[in-house]
Amino acid sequence: MRIALDAMGSDRAPAVEVEGAVGALRELDGDFSMVLVGDREAIEAELARHPEAPRDRIEVVHASQKIEMGESPAQAIRRKPDSSVVIGLTLHKRGEVDAFISAGSTGAVMAGSLFILRPLPGVDRPAIGTVFPTAAGHTIVLDSGANVDTRPAQLVQFATLGTIYAQDLMGVEQPRVGLLNIGEEPEKGDERSVETYGLLSRAPGINFVGNVEGRDIIHDRCDVLVCDGFVGNVLLKFYESIAGFIIHLLRQEVGAKGLEIDTDRVFRTLDYTEYGGAPLLGVNGITIICHGGSPPRAIRNAIRVAQRSVQRGMVAHIARELARPADPTQEP
């Protein structure tokens, strides 16, 4: 198995990417190698700082261009054919690598994946799934920002994508699917939610457990939480920031008393980078999007998620599910 990593994506690229890749190669089980895509010189300079790196399992593919954060995603993909994102995704498209990971511009990685890998047949809109830490485990929230103004039928597809992810990556046999809403009853919420509730209730292959309110997200009511990308993105970014804010308050309080506690451990429980980046689900390939501020640990965990996604055949699993006829009476 070969996993391509955009070495130029993160805020501290390529240092973080190289350290994450070396860590993954040394610590993760399984026979895989890494393809680092980006400025060869910069990558080699970083690799030189890691004498422990298993060089026989690392290949560097040069990319002379880099997509910047502020660029229009679609334009950047068209205008920068020699960027690390386009080259990495093209390697994946050609079958030369089995997955692609980037901590670069989410919009560009998404646009590139849609243009180059293409959506799977039957997938209307691929979605970004983010694993939220909860009190008892994790919930994958999708869509986390790839799509706005989604239609109810598209939200039902997100439920299927999330179900397969939870089965293949989180080891949940019959994932509970919740619909993010502002009340528990079926008639609660906006028009989209009411219609989606009805569709999810009847959707084959979906273990729908009903509406999930904001207060219940962290209380493990579901394994898969379906929502429009607008509210999903607001929630995700709020979660990231609030965890940091509370830890900050706490450190002030602890500092004032001259005590030392392991806030890092608390923080880790809340750190979604711990769970290995956000998969773009529904494209014909494995794309994992990491936070621009990812530490090496997040990159290593994303590599683990990519590895497992390939091992489990998640893309074929999604393709199989979404090729099924929508009407269960027509199933073979």
Residue 148 binds a second copy (CB under 8 A): yes
Give the residue among 255, 264, 294, 259 at the shortest CA–CA distance from 276.
294
Residues 191-230 that bind a second copy (CB under 8 A): 191, 193, 213-219, 228-230
Q: At closest approach, how far in Å is the CB of 109 from a second copy?
A: 15
Q: Number of residues in contact with a second copy, rule: CB under 8 A?
A: 49
Nearer to a second copy, 209 or 218 (CB): 218
Please report, for residues 21, 96, 189, 238, the alpha-carbon distance to residue 90 in angstroms, rounded to integers and kept in the order given: 20, 9, 42, 34
The pair of structure tokens assigned to 136 is 């008892």
Report the Cα 7 to chain-centroid distance in Å. 17
Residue 265 binds a second copy (CB under 8 A): yes
Helix (H) or strand (E) holding 100: strand 99-102
Q: At closest approach, how far in Å is the CB of 186 from a second copy?
A: 14
Q: How far apart are CA 225 and CA 207, in angstroms?
A: 12
Give the residue among 210, 206, 205 at the shortest CA–CA distance from 194.
210
Q: At closest approach, how far in Å is the CB of 79 from a second copy?
A: 19
Residue 136 binds a second copy (CB under 8 A): no
Stretch that binds a second copy, among 42-50, 241-249, 296-304, 313-321 (CB under 8 A): 241-249
The residue from 82, 96, 253, 331 that contacts a second copy (CB under 8 A) is: 253
The residue from 68, 82, 96, 190 that contacts a second copy (CB under 8 A) is: 190
Q: How far apart are CA 213 and CA 26, in angstroms?
A: 41
Q: At closest approach, how far in Å is the CB of 52 from a second copy?
A: 32
Type of residue at 76: A
Q: How far apart are CA 322 and CA 317, in angstroms?
A: 9
Q: At closest approach, how far in Å is the CB of 212 from a second copy?
A: 10
Give the residue among 4, 22, 39, 241 at the shortest CA–CA distance from 109.
4
Q: How far apart are CA 323 and CA 9, in angstroms?
A: 34
Residue 261 binds a second copy (CB under 8 A): yes
Residue 75 binds a second copy (CB under 8 A): no
Residues that bind a second copy (CB under 8 A): 135, 145, 148-149, 180, 182, 189-191, 193, 213-219, 228-231, 233-243, 245-250, 253-254, 257, 259, 261-263, 265-266, 269-270
